[in-house]
Structure 1
Amino acid sequence: MDRTIFHCDCNSFYASAELLSRPDLRDKPVAVCGNPENRHGIILAKNEAAKAFGVVTAETIGRAQGKCPGLILLPAHHELYARLSRQINAIYCRYTDQVEPFSIDESWLDVTGSLPYFKKTGQELADELRAAVRQETGVTISVGVSFNKVLAKMGSDYKKPDATTLFTRENFKERIYPLPVSALLFAGRAARRVFARLGIATIGQLAGYPREQLVELLGKTGGTLWDYAHGIDDTPVKHWGERDPIKTIGNSITFRRNLQGLYDIRIALTALSDKVSSRLIRHGLKCRTLQLQIRDPDFRTISRQRPLPHPTYLQKDLFDAALSLLSSSWDLDKPIRMLSLTGAQLAPAEEAGWGQLSLFEPQAPEELKKRESLELMVEDLRRRFGADCVTRASILHNDLGIDTALSGRKGSLERQEPGNTES
């Protein structure tokens, strides 16, 4: 028997959330954006009125205002969105315990076992769910109903806002095959470039291409996308609260102004390595590989990674590796708009140990134990008294947009060399 899967997508979620308290703006073109002063000046969400002017998510504020001179810009309130997302998912959980969030405003539901209880078809239950969310939260959702997750997701995108779309085994090809191949879930940029070279423009053309040749060109991804085009996907919907194992832990900062030179870079890497270290410790993990992403003011981005000498969550180890990686990959005189630092190849801290230390390793296990004890003590203080109760001195009073609770305190602080300060 086929499953009945819903994909529920909140319509213009950020904008809808903001307009709950601003009903006077409901029929006017509105967009939610990042803070231009912190260089997050892009469109995060837009309502239907703004969409009619061609405003799209992720474009710059300036470009959006060029399309829609009367565009009303609202700041983002992420705590509001998180609270509303939890409320909406709680409604979903009244219909099934198989609720799997895909993002803050999207979730899959497996209601196969719920249909006999509610005595409704999948489409009828989806309509009831839409009405419940709209009535209880003021937010509208679009629901895709199908026999697997991929087609349910495509169904929720098919018609918006506040709509239910049913894709069955009998009708899905007729409805999705004319769509551009970019509409297929997980058809990323690299895959689309290959498809363009092959003359594959629509999902139907992809479905008609030999699967074996796609696998040769794109590996496993090629076979998976061919399967999706044929409606083949048996991925289960997770139960509420079920989570995949953590694969990476990272943090990124888009700076208020461009980084210029080594001093700025060291401040930035100090803050990033401190945050990644804190998160690794909190999850009881060490990383074996460090990944670094660098973006310049023209949005050109490079990514680099390297293995670490030993598994670690220590801030200084992460900082030293990141600085070395950046110095070998980037002209330090060139400006930097954004940096991202990520620990990968994670392992439980108690199992990872210190790896195979070299005979020439300058840090003996005893020294590493002492440094780990210090980091654990600092993290315990942060857990009990707040994340900013202990702050690395070198990031205080910076003008890069790196916030700390202590940054606003009065008083002078000597210019210290970032990266080498101990908490």
Structure 2
Amino acid sequence: MDRTILHCDCNGFYASVECVHRPELKRVPMAVCGNPENRHGIILAKNELAKRFGIQTAETVWQARKKCPDLVLVQPHRGEYARYSQLVNQVYQEYTDMVEPFGIDESWLDVTGSKRLFGEGRQIADTLRRRIREELGLTISVGVSFNKVFAKLGSDYKKPDATTEITCDNYKELLYPLPVTAMLFVGKAAAELLARSGIHTIGSLAQADRAFLARLLGKQGEMLSDYARGLDDSPVRRTDEARDVKSVGNGMTFRRNLEGLEDIRAGVAFLSDTVAARLRRHRLKCQAVQVMIRNPSFRTISRQRQLAHPTDLAKEIGEAAVGVILSSWNPDAPIRMLTITGMNLIDSDTGEQLSLIHSADKSERQRELETTIDRIRNKFGTSSVQLGSVLGSDLGIAPGKQYPDEESGD
């Protein structure tokens, strides 16, 4: 039996939540952004009036204001966004227990088993749109299809407050003219490689030789070939199903640029501390460390390094991250934003077995120190123990927080 999958996407989510609390914002072009004084001056979401001026998510505040000098800027209220995300998903769960959030403002729903109670997929989608609009004051766009990838393309196809149904009969007509960048998991690097081979649309991706795509992009090429031809059988996870943690990372846009090795070590120490604590909480270790660096001109590089042994210790993650930076970046060149991510995760117990050849005494002393800090923070709060390198710092570091540079919400 063919599945019926919905992808529900809240329209301009952050901006919409702000407009619920302040209805006057609906009448002016407005956008949600980080605090420009702390250099988090990125547009996170905008309302429909701002879209008409060409305001785009992830552009800087000064770029947006050049397009619309009267743009009203609102700082984010993340607690409210999390609360509304939960409320929206609670409505979804009244129609199926197979709800898989994809970020704070998007979810897949498998309603195959719900149609006898609530009608066909389009009918369920329209009901959800009406309820979210009437009960929560938000709008959603919904894609209805026979797999997750096409349902996602459907929710993007028409906005705001729309239902688009993509079937076995119409998917070539609707989707094949779209640019290949509309496809899920086609990033900038993959799009550039495909473009060099003359592949610009989803249709040309579907028609390309699968073996050629495998040579060009590896396993990702085979996956994208299948997706473009509608061959996606990935399941929608149940609401209560545990999610596999693929990576653990934290990033921050600093109040001022990092300049010199001392600044870099301070920023790395703070981020590594948060990443390591989360790894230990999940009982995981990383086998590689990835560092993403962004300069004041928004040029971004990403580099990673395999570790000699799996770890969940901030000291070892930080040492690896500094090594990556020194090997790929001039330490005197300014850094606006830094992200550190633990990759290639394994269970902690497995990590212990793989680490037997490592210097156990040194690691155990460091582990005892860091786990003791975990216990103190759990009891007295995340700011109860702070790193000496960040005390009194003017970098804008606040213990216990994460600093996403760009988030979903639009």
State the TM bucket, normalised to the shorter chain.
over 0.9
Where 2:70 maps in the other structure, the secondary structure is coil
Larger Rg: 1 or 2? 1
Amino acid in structure 1 at the alignment position of 2:201: T
Q: Is 2:396 the partner of 1:401?
A: yes
Where 2:112 maps in the other structure, the secondary structure is coil
Amino acid in structure 1 at the alignment position of 2:77: H
Q: Is 2:318 the partner of 1:319?
A: yes
Residue 348 of structure 1: how far off its partner (Å): 2.4
Q: Is 2:92 the partner of 1:92?
A: yes
Assess if the C-alpha contact under 8 Å between 1:287 and 1:345 holds in 2. yes
Alignment partners' CA distance in 1, 2:126 and 2:308: 56
Amino acid in structure 1 at the alignment position of 2:367: E
User: Counterparts in 2 of 1:246-285, with a 5 A limit?
Assistant: 246-285=245-284
Where 1:353 maps in the other structure, the secondary structure is helix
Residue 356 of structure 1: how far off its partner (Å): 4.8
Name the CA shift for 1:191/1:96 in 2 (closer, same or farther; >3 Å). Answer: same
Q: Which residue of 1 aligns with 2:125?
A: 126
Amino acid in structure 2 at the alignment position of 1:320: E
Where 2:79 maps in the other structure, the secondary structure is helix
Query: For 1:112-144, what per-residue CA distance to the aligned partner results, in whole angstroms no more than 9, with x for missing partners?
Result: 0000122x1211111111111112211111111
Where 2:232 maps in the other structure, the secondary structure is coil
Q: Which residue of 2 aligns with 1:350?
A: 349
Q: Is 2:11 the partner of 1:31?
A: no
Assess if the C-alpha contact under 8 Å between 1:311 and 1:354 holds in 2. no
Assess if the C-alpha contact under 8 Å between 1:97 and 1:239 holds in 2. yes
Alignment partners' CA distance in 2, 1:29 and 1:264: 38
User: Counterparts in 2 of 1:131-210, with a 5 A limit?
Assistant: 131-210=130-209
Name the CA shift for 1:189/1:387 in 2 (closer, same or farther; >3 Å). Answer: same
Structure number with greater CO (CA < 8 Å, separation at least 6) is 2
Alignment partners' CA distance in 1, 2:193 and 2:219: 14
Amino acid in structure 2 at the alignment position of 1:369: E
Name the CA shift for 1:325/1:194 in 2 (closer, same or farther; >3 Å). Answer: closer
Assess if the C-alpha contact under 8 Å between 2:132 and 2:139 holds in 1. yes
Assess if the C-alpha contact under 8 Å between 2:292 and 2:339 holds in 1. yes
Amino acid in structure 2 at the alignment position of 1:93: Q
Alignment partners' CA distance in 2, 1:51 and 1:253: 27
Assess if the C-alpha contact under 8 Å between 1:292 and 1:305 holds in 2. yes
Q: TM-score, normalised on structure 1?
A: 0.90
Residue 304 of structure 1: how far off its partner (Å): 2.6
Alignment partners' CA distance in 2, 1:372 and 1:318: 13
Assess if the C-alpha contact under 8 Å between 1:152 and 1:167 holds in 2. yes
User: Counterparts in 2 of 1:4-15, with a 5 A limit?
Assistant: 4-15=4-15
Assess if the C-alpha contact under 8 Å between 1:312 and 1:354 holds in 2. no
Where 1:320 maps in the other structure, the secondary structure is helix
Alignment partners' CA distance in 2, 1:351 and 1:215: 32
Q: Which residue of 2 aligns with 1:329?
A: 328
Q: Which moved more, 1:93-102 or 1:267-276?
A: 267-276
Alignment partners' CA distance in 1, 2:51 and 2:313: 46
Query: For 1:28-84, what per-residue CA distance to the aligned partner results, in whole angstroms no more than 9, with x for missing partners?
Result: 111111111121111110111111111111111111111112111111111111110
Residue 297 of structure 1: how far off its partner (Å): 1.6
Alignment partners' CA distance in 2, 1:264 and 1:194: 36
Amino acid in structure 2 at the alignment position of 1:181: V
Assess if the C-alpha contact under 8 Å between 1:310 and 1:357 holds in 2. no
Q: Which residue of 2 aligns with 1:71?
A: 71
Where 1:88 maps in the other structure, the secondary structure is helix
Alignment partners' CA distance in 1, 2:87 and 2:355: 48
The runs of 5 or more residues in structure 2 that have no matched partner are 401-410
Assess if the C-alpha contact under 8 Å between 2:310 and 2:355 holds in 1. no
Residue 230 of structure 1: how far off its partner (Å): 1.9
Assess if the C-alpha contact under 8 Å between 1:35 and 1:75 holds in 2. yes
Amino acid in structure 2 at the alignment position of 1:114: S
The runs of 5 or more residues in structure 1 that have no matched partner are 406-423
Where 2:364 maps in the other structure, the secondary structure is helix
Alignment partners' CA distance in 2, 1:238 and 1:402: 36
Name the CA shift for 1:28/1:236 in 2 (closer, same or farther; >3 Å). Answer: same
Where 2:330 maps in the other structure, the secondary structure is coil
Name the CA shift for 1:198/1:329 in 2 (closer, same or farther; >3 Å). Answer: closer
Q: Which moved more, 1:214-223 or 1:70-79?
A: 214-223
Q: TM-score, normalised on structure 2?
A: 0.92
Name the CA shift for 1:260/1:116 in 2 (closer, same or farther; >3 Å). Answer: same
Query: For 1:223-256, what per-residue CA distance to the aligned partner results, in whole angstroms no more than 9, with x for missing partners?
Result: 2222222222111111013243222212111111
Alignment partners' CA distance in 2, 1:116 and 1:399: 60
Residue 322 of structure 1: how far off its partner (Å): 2.4
Assess if the C-alpha contact under 8 Å between 1:296 and 1:336 holds in 2. yes
Residue 292 of structure 1: how far off its partner (Å): 2.0
Alignment partners' CA distance in 1, 2:190 and 2:328: 27
Amino acid in structure 2 at the alignment position of 1:64: A
Q: Is 2:211 the partner of 1:216?
A: no
Residue 354 of structure 1: how far off its partner (Å): 6.9
Alignment partners' CA distance in 2, 1:207 and 1:369: 52
Percent identity between matched residues is 55
Aligned length: 400
Where 1:340 maps in the other structure, the secondary structure is strand
Assess if the C-alpha contact under 8 Å between 1:396 and 1:404 holds in 2. no
| Misfit runs of 4+, over 6 Å | none
Amino acid in structure 2 at the alignment position of 1:386: G
Query: For 1:374-399, what per-residue CA distance to the aligned partner results, in whole angstroms no more than 9, with x for missing partners?
Result: 22121011112211111112211111
Q: Which residue of 1 aligns with 2:22?
A: 22
